[in-house]
Copies of this chain bind each other. A is one copy, B any other.
Amino acid sequence: MKGKKERLLGVPFDYEATDATDQSPPTALEKGLMRLILKALGDPQIKVILWDGEALDPVDAPAMVLRERAALWRLLYYPTLHFGDDYSAGRIDIEGGLEQFLSRFYTAYRRMPKFMEALQQGLTRYRHIRGNPQHRARDNIYHHYDIGNDFYRLWLDEEMVYTCAYYAPGITTLEAAQQAKMEHVCRKLRLKPGETVVDAGCGWGALARYMAKHYDVHVRAFNVSREQVAYARDKARAEGLEGRVEFIEDDYRNISGQYDAFVSIGMLEHVGSKHYRELGGIIDRSLKKNGRGLIHTIGQNRPLPTSTWTQRRIFPGGYPPTLGEMSAIFSPYDFSILDVENLRPHYAQTLRHWLARFDQQQDEVSRMYDERFVRTWRLYLTGSIANFSSGYLQLFQVLFTRPSNNQLPTTRDDIYDGDY
């Protein structure tokens, strides 16, 4: 510890000033606090190993290794930020399987008793009073869209689809599952040749090109990322689709014109729930009388905040909505929800494929980025697997139309007619 004035009854109040070289054995207080937390979480069958090698809950379970005293105090002080940051920095390690550890932790965390929630709120207030450490740690922010195409090319499928795939029966590869996802979306939208589609947040443009190629529709696709739009245009040109797919480097709020279909895959997570009504208005003015819309988004069962680490390091402003929150998009404009499908297990599988490729490409990634980056991304991908497989996160595809549209098939049989 830095100095005596920063401690009271053994608690270092200025935890950020703790000395990394201090390797004196854990105190009874430190061990007691960790045990208390595990107990309060309902003994989630995870082990904690302290910097002197002592295992706190000696069960045969995945273990969190705290490499130094400061990691423990940081974790106590701001768990939703520092677990991730200290893992990235190598001050925390996981033994016995990162996914298994996180799955058990998330399951326990979701069942957290009320008094732990109150404690967390108290901590938030305390941190607020002491001043937020985020401003001192901007060096390890790896926001998704600050990273170039070259990184994603290493571990995404060949079409660069960075959203949940669809493992239709018999499909086992990522490539085929991403194609099946695009086909699934097209079938749900009941696209007909010659129709027009607007794609809000089109990523690298795979869906827009798929629709034009396989459904003979005209697509206008919006994306704010210059690099992604450039890539999408190149691909469309190479495939001779220029006349049928138009990539526009602009915000979805500037969508103009009227279309037979509105589609948005993996954008809503970044919209922010206070903009849902505005988004609904944009859809309302963009859809023709019998137009259909599909929103594909990560979601959740309860409106819980995203972890601080994910917010700060991965997805600034990201939030996975509940279906109830999503109704702010549809309800004010009298849209009828026709079909909601929860593809949660498909996202766990998609992420497993991504992580396996990421690990295969580790040498390449390490040449491009430092160790902290590699650990950050491994934690993010593995944590996402655990989030989806434990049921913390959902993946909703929501199909909707105007209430007076009586032109659609009345059952979903046609969607399941024929292979993917």
The chain A residues found within 8 Å of chain B, CB to CB, are 107, 110, 166-169, 301-303, 322-324, 326-328, 330-332, 334-346, 389-392, 394, 396, 402-406, 410-413, 415-416
B412–A341 CB distance below 8 A: yes
Question: Contacts of A402 on B, CB cut-off 8 Å?
Answer: 391
Q: How far is the CA of A415 from the CA of B324 in the complex (A)?
A: 26
Q: How far is the CA of A190 from the CA of B166 in the complex (A)?
A: 21
Partner of A301 from B335, B344, B394 at Cβ < 8 Å: B335
How many copies of this chain are found per oligomer?
Answer: 2
CB distance from A407 to the nearest CB of B (A): 10
Q: How far is the CA of A370 from the CA of B399 in the complex (A)?
A: 45
A-B complex: 4 closest residue pairs judged by Cβ atoms: A391-B403, A324-B327, A340-B340, A416-B416
Question: Contacts of A396 on B, CB cut-off 8 Å?
Answer: 337
B391–A336 CB distance below 8 A: yes
Q: How far is the CA of A404 from the CA of B324 in the complex (A)?
A: 20
Given contacts A334-B301, A337-B340, A342-B338, contact A390 B403 (CB under 8 A): yes
Partner of A405 from B107, B301, B331, B391 at Cβ < 8 Å: B391
B336–A344 CB distance below 8 A: yes
Residue ID in chain B nearest A391 by CB atoms:
B403
Given contacts A107-B404, A331-B301, contact A345 B410 (CB under 8 A): yes
Residue ID in chain B nearest A410 by CB atoms:
B345
Question: Contacts of A331 on B, CB cut-off 8 Å?
Answer: 301-303, 322, 324
A301–B330 CB distance below 8 A: yes
Q: How far is the CA of A331 from the CA of B326 in the complex (A)?
A: 13
Question: Contacts of A326 on B, CB cut-off 8 Å?
Answer: 324
B327–A337 CB distance below 8 A: no
- CB<8 Å pairs between A and B, sample of 26: A107-B404, A167-B410, A167-B411, A168-B413, A301-B331, A301-B335, A301-B336, A302-B331, A323-B327, A323-B337, A324-B326, A324-B327, A336-B342, A336-B391, A337-B340, A337-B342, A337-B394, A338-B341, A339-B340, A339-B341, A339-B342, A346-B410, A389-B406, A391-B403, A391-B406, A412-B416
